[in-house]
């Protein structure tokens, strides 16, 4: 098994990438602390892991709150004795996030607080735990929009993900000699609730699909496979990377007809 003796904390583990990663990491031998603000969803992930014979616990935490992030790391160490894989994955995309004129202060702040400050707080409390365990892997979920501009504006979201990417490189550099690797996962557009709620008409979905060489949205399970590689020792020399998993979007100039 690829994550034997590992303990993973996954934020946003109730849905999408976080849920699929929790299921996969547990199947590969990790004990998993599932963190979410929606208790039912997080508990459901834990139930699915336990049903498959894996080990998991749920903790309610809002990643934008310092005390919640301290609590989730404490809960992980007290339940499983250590933390070796920190997956800062929770994020939101607000339907009212638009261009620089349309986006309200409130939408800007909420998006930055969860998507960017949430990763910072996860690292503030999680990295000391990784250190106590003798090292480990941090995975921060950014996005392909941190690398490319889009005419369909979501300015707060894009800024938050750019911040995650820049912060990841710096964390990777700071902690490299402590046996702690830090990488950013940059997913392309996925068929998860987050994006499908945002692209709420067939016309909006088709407008996005035009730009994807593979002609389809990605699946959360495909991101989980990439996260598994970053979590495991198979990626032992991968550090500070923008790990792009986007169906070829960032490589394309013109897509096939
Ligand atoms: P999702 O909406 O399916 O799942 C996100 C989970 O995070 C939910 O269970 C939600 O309850 C939880 N969450 C939200 N706010 C939280 C908070 N403050 N504290 C703790 N948990 C919270 O979304 P997803 O598509 O799986 O997205 C996961 C990550 O991937 C996000 O960071 C997102 O920005 C990023 N991403 C998604 C896409 C996409 O197309 N779906 C593309 C690129 C990047």
For atom 19 of ligand 1, the residue with the nearest CA is 62
How far apart are the C-alpha atoms of 234 and 230, rounded to whole Å?
8
Q: How far is the CA of 19 from the centre of ligand 1 (A)?
A: 10
Ligand 1 atom closest to Cα of residue 62: 19
Q: Per-residue pLDDT tens for 51-81? A: 999 999 999 999 999 999 999 999 999 999 9
CB of 63 within 6 A of ligand 1: the answer is: yes
How far apart are the C-alpha atoms of 178 and 214, rounded to whole Å?
39
Token pair for residue 193? 């609730």
CB of 190 within 6 A of ligand 1: the answer is: yes
How far apart are the C-alpha atoms of 101 and 114, rounded to whole Å?
21
Detail the DSSP E strand segments found in the chain. 7-11, 31-36, 55-60, 85-88, 136-141, 180-187, 242-245
Mean pLDDT of 197-208: 90
Fold of 7-241: Rossmann fold (3.40.50)
Token pair for residue 58? 């749920």
Full-prediction pTM beyond 0.95? Answer: yes
pLDDT of 163 over the 90 cut = yes
| pLDDT grade for 257, boundaries at 50, 70 and 90 | confident
> What ranges do the domains of the chain cover?
7-241
Pocket test for ligand 1, best of 9, 12, 119 (most atoms within 8 A of CB): 12
Q: Per-residue pLDDT tens for 40-58? A: 999 999 999 999 999 999 9
Q: Per-residue pLDDT tens for 91-118? A: 999 999 999 999 999 999 999 999 999 9
How far apart are the C-alpha atoms of 73 and 41, rounded to whole Å?
20
Contact 78, 106 (CB under 8 A): no
Under DSSP, is residue 248 helix (H, G, I), strand (E, B) or coil? Answer: coil
Q: Per-residue pLDDT tens for 128-138? A: 999 999 999 99
DSSP 165-182: HHHHHHHHHHHGGGTEEE
Token pair for residue 229? 């590689």
């Amino acid at each position: 098994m690829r994550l034997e003796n590992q303990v993973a904390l996954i934020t946003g583990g109730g849905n999408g990438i976080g849920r699929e990663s929790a299921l996969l990491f547990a199947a590969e031998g990790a004990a998993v602390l599932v963190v979410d603000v929606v208790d039912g969803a997080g508990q459901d992930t834990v139930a699915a892991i336990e049903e498959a014979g894996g080990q998991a616990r749920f903790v309610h935490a809002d990643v934008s709150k310092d005390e919640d992030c301290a609590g989730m790391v404490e809960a992980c160490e007290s339940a499983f004795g250590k933390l070796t894989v920190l997956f800062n994955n929770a994020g939101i995309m607000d339907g009212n996030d638009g261009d620089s004129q349309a986006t309200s202060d409130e939408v800007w702040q909420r998006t930055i607080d969860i998507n960017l400050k949430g990763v910072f707080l996860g690292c503030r409390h999680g990295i000391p735990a990784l250190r106590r365990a003798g090292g480990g892997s941090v995975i921060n979920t950014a996005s392909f929009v941190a690398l490319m501009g889009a005419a369909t504006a979501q300015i707060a979201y894009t800024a938050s993900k750019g911040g995650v990417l820049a912060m990841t490189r710096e964390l990777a550099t700071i902690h490299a000699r402590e046996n702690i690797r830090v990488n950013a996962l940059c997913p392309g557009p996925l068929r998860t609730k987050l994006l499908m709620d945002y692209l709420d008409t067939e016309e909006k979905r088709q407008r996005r699909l035009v730009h994807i060489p593979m002609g389809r949205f990605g699946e959360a399970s495909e991101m989980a496979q990439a996260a598994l590689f970053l979590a495991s020792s198979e990626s032992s020399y991968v550090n500070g990377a923008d790990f792009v998993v986007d169906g070829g979007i960032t490589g394309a100039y013109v897509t096939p007809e």
